[in-house]
Amino acid sequence: MDITLHHSPGACSMATCISLEEAGADFSVNIISLKNNEQSSPEYVALNPKKKVPYLVVDGQGLSENVAIQTWIAETFPDAGLLPADPWDHKRALSYMGWFGAGLHPHMTRHFKPGYFCDQPEAHANIKAKAEALYMDQLELIEAELTGKTWFFDHYTVCDSYFFWIYDRALREGFELSHLEYSTQHNDRMRMRESVEKTLARVEG
Ligand SMILES: N[C@@H](CCC(=O)N[C@@H](CS)C(=O)NCC(=O)O)C(=O)O
> What pLDDT digit, counting tens, does each position of 96-130 carry?
999 999 999 999 999 999 999 999 999 999 999 99
114 vs 107: CA distance, rounded Å: 10
Query: Per-residue pLDDT tens for 142-169?
Result: 999 999 999 999 999 999 999 999 999 9
Verify whether ligand 1 is closer than 6 Å to residue 52 (CB atom): yes
Instruction: Using the mean position of ligand 1's atoms as its centre, give its distance from the Cα of residue 133 in Å.
Output: 20
Do 28 and 119 reside in the same domain of the chain? no
Count Cβ atoms within 10 A of the Cβ of residue 164 and give its class: 0-12 exposed, 13-18 middle, 19 or more buried: buried
- The answer to whether residues 106 and 75 belong to one domain is no
Are 48 and 97 contained in the same domain?
Answer: no
CATH number at residue 53: 3.40.30.10
The string of DSSP letters for 20-78 reads HHHHT---EEEE--TTTTGGGSHHHHHH-TT--S-EEEETTEEEE-HHHHHHHHHHHSG
Return the best residue to mutate from 52, 96, 165, 172 for the ligand 1 pocket (most ligand atoms within 8 A of CB). Answer: 52
Give CA–CA dist 28/47, Å, rounded. Answer: 16
Q: What is the mean pLDDT of the chain?
A: 97
Residues 39, 115 within the same domain: no
Instruction: Decide: 169 and 136 in contact? Cβ < 8 Å.
Output: no
The per-residue pLDDT for 82 is 98
**157 Cα: distance to centroid of ligand 1 (angstroms):** 22
Q: Which residues of 92-114 are buried (b: 16+ CB within 10 A; e: fewer)?
A: bbbebbebbbebbbebbebbbeb
Decide if pLDDT at 187 tops 70.
Answer: yes
Q: What percent of the chain has pLDDT over 90?
A: 98
* Total residues belonging to the chain: 205
pLDDT at position 202 is 85
| Ligand 1 in reach of 53 Cβ (< 6 A) | yes
Distance (Å) from CA 51 to ligand 1 centroid: 8
Q: Are residues 120 and 50 in the same domain?
A: no
In three-state secondary structure terms, 7 is: strand
Pocket test for ligand 1, best of 39, 53, 69 (most atoms within 8 A of CB): 53
Beta partners for residue 64, in sequence order: 55
Q: Both 54 and 72 in a single domain?
A: yes
5 backbone dihedrals φ, ψ, rounded to 5°: -100, 125
pLDDT higher than threshold 90 for residue 21? yes
Judgement on whether residues 33 and 121 belong to the same structural domain of the protein: no
Q: What pLDDT, in 10s, does the model give residues 30-56?
A: 999 999 999 999 999 999 999 999 999
148 CA distance to ligand 1 centroid (A)? 31
Ligand 1 centre to CA of 11 (Å) is 7
Q: Give the domain extent around 69.
A: 3-80+197-204
Mutation to probe ligand 1, out of 35, 39, 63, 105 (largest number of atoms < 8 A from CB): 105
Same domain, 180 and 97: yes
Indicate whether 183 and 95 sit together in one domain: yes
Q: How many domains does the chain have?
A: 2
- 69 plus 92 within the same structural domain: no
How far apart CA 1 and CA 26 sit, in angstroms, is 8
Mark out the alpha helices in 64-180 (DSSP H runs): 66-76, 87-98, 105-112, 121-146, 158-172
Q: What pTM, to 2 d.p., does this model score?
A: 0.97
Between 45 and 202, the more confident residue is: 45
Query: Residue 70: its pLDDT value, please?
Result: 98
* Banded pLDDT at 205 (limits 50, 70, 90): low
What is the per-residue pLDDT for 34? 95
